[in-house]
Structure 1
Amino acid sequence: MTWHNSLQWLQALVAFDTTSRNSNLALIHHVQGALDGLGVQAELFHSPDGAKANLFATLPAQDGGMQGGVVLSGHTDVVPVDGQPWSSDPFTLTQRGDRLYGRGSCDMKGFIAVALALVPELLALPRRQPLHLALSYDEEVGCMGAPVMIDALVRRGARFDGCVVGEPTSMQVVVAHKGINVYRCRVHGRAAHSSLTPRGSNAIEHAARLICHIRDLAEACAANGPYDECFDVPFTTLTTNEIRGGIAVNTIPDLCEFSYEFRNLPGMSPQRIQAQIDRYVREQLLPRMRREHEGARIDIEPVAAAPALEAAEDAAITQLVRALAADPATRKVAYGTEGGLFQQAGIPTVVCGPGSIEQAHKPDEYVELAQLQACEHFLRRLAQSLQGDGI
C-alpha cells in the first residue's frame, strides 16, 4: 500500500511546475491539505513577497513531544526545462521500464514523495522521538528559502537531534560538500566614441582585469591547495560564468556586468576568499580606473550563498544513517545542498536520498523504481530507530 502511495505522491508532485521562477504555493498547499487530513498541522514560512513558502511539519512522539528527533529535508523547486529535448511531458510522471521520468523525479521530489507516503504508517508507529518534515523553496537558485524557515525555528528554541537531506546520492551517505558563493559585479566606467578612446574608461577591459585576477586565484588554489582528496575536485574552485557589456562596436562601454562563483572546501573561509578579490579592486583596479575617470566605481554584491557541510563522524545521525544505508565509505561532493544551513544552525546533518545526481537537471530526468523502494526501506527503518531513547 505504501509503495503505491509513493508513486501517487510522486505523480502529484511532478505535476506541479515548481521551476524556481514560479511560485511553489500550489504544491505546498496540496501537501498541507493532505497532512491536515491526517491530523498533522503544517506551518508555512513564506518568502518576503509571499509568493513562495517553506513547509514544516512534526509527527510528534507518542507522548506528544515535539523537541528533538530527526528532520527530513527536501526542496520543492526544480530547474527549468527550457530548450531541453524531452521525450515526454516533463511535468507528467512517465514510466518506461524501471524508470520514472519527469522534472524533479530525481532532484528531489522522489525523496519527498516517499516521505509523504509513509506519514500514515509513521503516525501509527510508537516513537519516543518526533520526526519532522521540512520542505523548502528556491534551493536551486542559491538556497534562498530554507534560511527563512531555519532561522524562525531556531529563534523559537526548536531543537533537533539530526537532519537527513534527501538529495540524490543513490542512497549512499554523503558526509561533506563544498560551499557555494555567488556574486554579481558591476564595473562602471565612462562612455566615449571609440575614436576618442582617452576620453573614456572602458568598463569591459577593466572587468576583464578583475576576471583574470579571479582566474589567477583559482589557479593558485589548484596549485597550492589546501586539498581534500575525498572530493572529485579536491580544491576550492573559482569561475566567472556570465558577462554582459557594451552597446556598439564603436562605443567605449561605460558598464560591464558579470557574475562569478567560488566553491570552497569545508573549513576554508569564503570571507577570506572574497576579501582577496575586494583587496585587488580597492588597491589596484580602482586607482587605475580613476586615473581615467574620477567617477569610476565597482559594485560587488552577494547573490547567493550556501555554506559547506562536513558531518562529524562521531555524530549520532552520521552513525545511524551509515548503519541504515550499510555504507561506511567517506563520500564528499562538489555540488551544494541545504545541509550546510542546518549544520550552521547547530543541527548535525548528512545527505542521503534516492536517484543519481548524474540525472539531475538533464532532459529526461528520471529516478529508478529500485531507488524509491530503497528510500522507503531506509526511511521506515529510520523512523523505527526513533523508538529508543535517542538516535
Structure 2
Amino acid sequence: MLDRTIEILSDLIAFPTVSSDSNLEMMAYLADRLEAAGAKVDVLSDAVGRKANLFATLGPEIDGGIVLSGHSDVVPVTDQVWSTDPFKMAERDGRLFGRGTCDMKGFIAATIAMAPVFAKKIQHRPLHFAFTYDEETGCIGAGHLAKELKQRAFRPSAAIIGEPTGMRIIEGHKGCYEYTTRFQGLEGHGSIPDQGVNAVEYAVRYVARLLDLKNELRSKAPPRSRFEPPWTTINIGALNGGTVHNVIAPKAQVDWEMRPVQVSDATFVKEDLKRYCREVLLPEMQKTHADADITTEIIGEVDGLVPVDHNEARRIVSELTGANGADLVSFGTEAGIFQNLGMDVVVCGPGSIEQAHKADEYLERDQLAQCLKLLERLADKCAAPAPG
C-alpha cells in the first residue's frame, strides 16, 4: 500500500497546481481514481471554469459521514533554489521531495490509495472525500464547497483535515484574515511634493499603524491561551508602489494578514484602521486631491478552529492512533469552515509544517506510512453503524 501511495503522490506532484493556475487536470485524475473505486463523484467548477472542488462519497448518502479533506493547490516555487525539479518527485534517504509533498498532496495520495479498501469495508457509515482549490490564497474553494454542502440532503458529522501535523491531533488553530489595502494618490514631480499626494508615504504610515497594533495585541492575549504565540499576530506581506526616484507615487498597495486568537481582536484591528483612515489619512490626502482614496479588499477571512469539549473527530482519531490529548497550532487551515457547517473537526496529517512552502519541500516516507495506518483503521471504523 505504501508503494502504491508513493506512485500516486508522484503523479500528483507532476500536476503544477500553483494557486494562480488551473487544478482541473489534477481533479480529473482524482475523480477517475475515486470513480474506479466505486465512489459517487461530483467535480464542482468555479465561476469561470478554471478550477474546481471535488466531493465524493463512498457508502450511503445519509447523515453522519466522515470527511477526509485536503487542498489541491500549492504555493509558487518562484525565486526558490531547488536541488531537484519541484514538480517531479524525487526520493532519497527516506524522504519524498517535491512541491506539495507534505502540503498536502501526501495526505490526498494516501486517501486515494485507500479508496478501494474503504469501498470494500464501508457498510453503514459513509466516507466523503473533499478536495478543494485555492486554500493558499484565502480558502476560497472551501468557502464555495461549504455553500454547496449546505444544499445537500445529508450532512457529514465529522471531518479530518490532513494538513501536515506530524500525525499529531490538532483541535484548534487561529483564524487567518488576509487583506490588500490600496492607496490612490496624485502623481507629480518629486521637486514639488506639496502639489501631489504620495501614495507610498501614506502606505508607509498605514504600515506603521499596523505595527503599533501588532505590539498592542500582545497585551490582549487571553489569560489561558494555548496558542503559540498566545496573542493575535499581524504580518506585513508586501508593500509596493511608485515607479522612479523623481515621481510622486500615485499608487501603492499593502498586502497584510492577521491571525486572531479571538474574534474580538479582529474587530478591534479593523475598526481602528477604519477610524485611522477616515479621521487622519484620508482628510490629509483629499485636502490636496479630492479623488484620493484608500480601499481595502478582503482576500479571505477564514475563521479559526475552535477547541470544544465534545469532539467526535478528536475521539475517533485518538482511538485510531492511541494518542492522548490534542494540541493547537498557529497556522491556518480550512477546518473552521467545516466546523461552521456543524461538523466535529480535527487536523491531522503526515509531514511537518516546517517543510511547507520552502525549497526542497519533503515528506518523510515513515510519516506517509503512519498516515496509511490511520486510514486502514478508519476503514474498519466505517464498517460500524454511524452514531445516532
Say yes or no: TM over 0.5.
yes
**Alignment partner, residue 323 of structure 1:** 319
Tell me which of 358, 361, 364 is aligned to 1:365: 361
CA displacement at 1:272 relative to structure 2: 4.0
Deviating runs (4+, > 4 A) in structure 1? Answer: none
Is 1:304 the counterpart of 2:300? The answer is: yes
Find the counterpart in structure 2 of residue 10 from structure 1.
Answer: 9
CA distance in 1, matches of 2:220, 2:385: 47
1:377 shift after superposition? 0.8
Whether 1:58 and 2:66 are equivalent positions in the alignment is no
One-letter amino acid of the structure 2 residue matched with residue 342 of structure 1: F
Q: 1:388: which partner in 2? A: 384
How many angstroms apart in 2 are the aligned matches of 1:336 and 1:305? 11
Q: Distance in 2 between matches of 1:44 and 1:11?
A: 22
Residues paired across the two proteins, number = 387
The answer on whether the counterparts of 1:173 and 1:351 sit within 8 Å (CA) in structure 2 is: yes
Partners of 1:266 and 1:310 within 8 A in 2: no
SS at 1:241 equivalent: strand
Contact preservation (8 Å) 2:73, 2:136: yes
Q: Which moved more, 1:47-56 or 1:307-316?
A: 307-316
Supply the distance in 1 between the matched residues of 2:310 and 2:63 (Cα, whole angstroms): 22
Distance 1:338 1:228, change over 3 A: farther
Shift of 1:192: 2.3
- From 272, 276, 279, give the equivalent of 1:280: 276
Check 1:126–1:182 CA distance in 2 against 1; reply closer, same or farther (3 A cut).
closer
* 2:380 counterpart of 1:349: no
Match of 2:42 in 1: 43
1:203 aligns with 2:199: yes
For 2:285, the aligned partner's letter is M
* Identity value in percent: 38
In structure 1, what is the equivalent of residue 249 of structure 2?
253
Q: Which runs of 5+ in 2 are unaligned?
A: none
Aligned partner of 1:153 among 137, 140, 149: 149
Q: How many angstroms apart in 2 are the aligned matches of 1:178 and 1:150?
A: 19
- State how far apart, in whole Å, the 2-side matches of 1:100 and 1:242 are: 31
2:123 is matched with which residue: 108, 122, 127? 127
Contact in 1 for aligned 2:8/2:109 (Cα 8 Å): yes
The gaps in structure 1 that reach 5 residues or longer are none
Q: CA deviation at 1:336?
A: 0.7
User: Alpha carbons of 1:88 and 1:189: their partners in 2 closer, same or farther (altered >3 Å)?
Assistant: closer
What displacement does 1:71 show?
A: 0.2
Query: Does structure 1 retain, via aligned residues, the 8 Å contact 2:137–2:299?
Result: no
Instruction: Name the amino acid aligned to 2:93.
Output: G
Which residue does 1:231 correspond to in 2?
227
Counterpart CA distance in 2 for 1:357 and 1:198 is: 48
Partners of 1:363 and 1:299 in 2: CA distance = 34
Change over 3 Å in CA distance of 1:267–1:287 after alignment to 2: closer
**Length-normalised TM-score, structure 1:** 0.94
Pairing 1:68–2:27 present: no
Of stretches 225-234 and 136-145 in structure 1, the one that deviates more from structure 2 is: 225-234
Query: Matches of 1:299 and 1:36 in 2, distance apart?
Result: 46
Q: Deviations over 1:262-302 (max 9, x none)?
A: 11114445344312211211122212222333322111111
Q: 2:174 matched to which residue of 1?
A: 178
| Greater mean alpha carbon deviation, residues 154-163 or residues 370-379 | 154-163
Residues 1:266 and 1:155: Cα distance change in structure 2 (over 3 Å): farther
Distance 1:84 1:192 in 2: 37
SS at match of 2:288: coil
